Amino acid sequence: MRVIDSLPATRVAVSGDEAQRLRRYVQQTEEIVGWIPDVRVARLSDTPALTRLFADHDVGPWIYTMPQPITEETVRAFILRHLHEREEGAGVLFIAFDSEGEAAAYFDVELWAEWGACKFGGAVKPQRQGKGYGGATTLAAVDWCFSRLGVERICETTGLDNTRSIRLLSRIGFQEVGRTISRRPDGTARPSIVWELERRVWTTPRLRARASAATSPDRSLSAVAEGRPGP
């Protein structure tokens, strides 16, 4: 098994112009149009809603990048860090709300522009887990990364025991490429599986059809954002 010291695992440099284009896209993106309606870049005013989502024991413990401890103060800093990353074209945090104004899902993108690669993390609120919403959201996120942002490769990590994510990524077509140790903000370690998906593989009709057949986009649309952008 390959041990990967730092991400992304595969590094194929893109041209300077392409790297710049990728950074600019991240700097300018506002929302994800397409399969997930009304998903937008997170704002500082989203702190209470995001704190409630992260604080749930079916969300926070699964994600190694979570702020520790999860409080409004640390989540505010998490959002602020992503806003700075967006200014630099290095990352972006998206949030979707349900009809009650609660955070229904989030996903954040880390961009390695020089390698034409990115990584995303995310979660759906516990009441919606295990019903196909996460699958649909992940599919939409992959489509956004390849079709809109336009990276060559997505690199993902999952905890060794995160069965749902492992099944999800495998079904979508991600390949396991090795193992790494992910570091949480508090310095503790989490062994992770490293996955990759190449755009040239994803764009093959067979893989796209297989991934979307297993997760109905129709179900995702009403499900993930269910209606409206956040306050």
Ligand X SMILES: CC(C)(COP(=O)(O)OP(=O)(O)OC[C@H]1O[C@@H](n2cnc3c(N)ncnc32)[C@H](O)[C@@H]1OP(=O)(O)O)[C@@H](O)C(=O)NCCC(=O)NCCS
Enumerate binding residues for ligand X (CB under 6 A).
Answer: 58-59, 62-63, 121, 123-124, 129-135, 158, 162-165, 167-168, 171, 214
Work out how close the CB of 27 gets to ligand X at its nearest, in angstroms, rounded to a whole number: 25
Q: Is the peptide bond before 67 cis (omega within 30 degrees of 0)?
A: no
Tell me how far apart the alpha carbons of residues 73 and 86 are, in angstroms, rounded to a whole number: 20
Work out how close the CB of 128 gets to ligand X at its nearest, in angstroms, rounded to a whole number: 6
The residue with its CB nearest to ligand X is 134
Burial class (CB in 10 A: 0-12, 13-18, 19+), 82: buried
- Nearer to ligand X by Cβ, of 25 and 62: the residue is 62
Q: What is the DSSP string of 37-70?
A: TTEEE--GGGHHHHHHHHHSTTTGGG-TTS-SS-
- Nearer to ligand X by Cβ, of 18 and 55: the residue is 55
- Nearer to ligand X by Cβ, of 63 and 142: the residue is 63
- Nearer to ligand X by Cβ, of 4 and 124: the residue is 124
* Cα–Cα nearest to 128, from 100, 109, 147: 100
- Nearer to ligand X by Cβ, of 130 and 229: the residue is 130
Sheet holding 39-41, edge to edge: 31-32, 39-41, 91-97, 103-112, 117-124, 153-159, 189-198, 175-183
Work out how close the CB of 212 gets to ligand X at its nearest, in angstroms, rounded to a whole number: 12
Contact 59, 105 (CB under 8 A): no
Work out how close the CB of 111 gets to ligand X at its nearest, in angstroms, rounded to a whole number: 17
Work out how close the CB of 109 gets to ligand X at its nearest, in angstroms, rounded to a whole number: 13
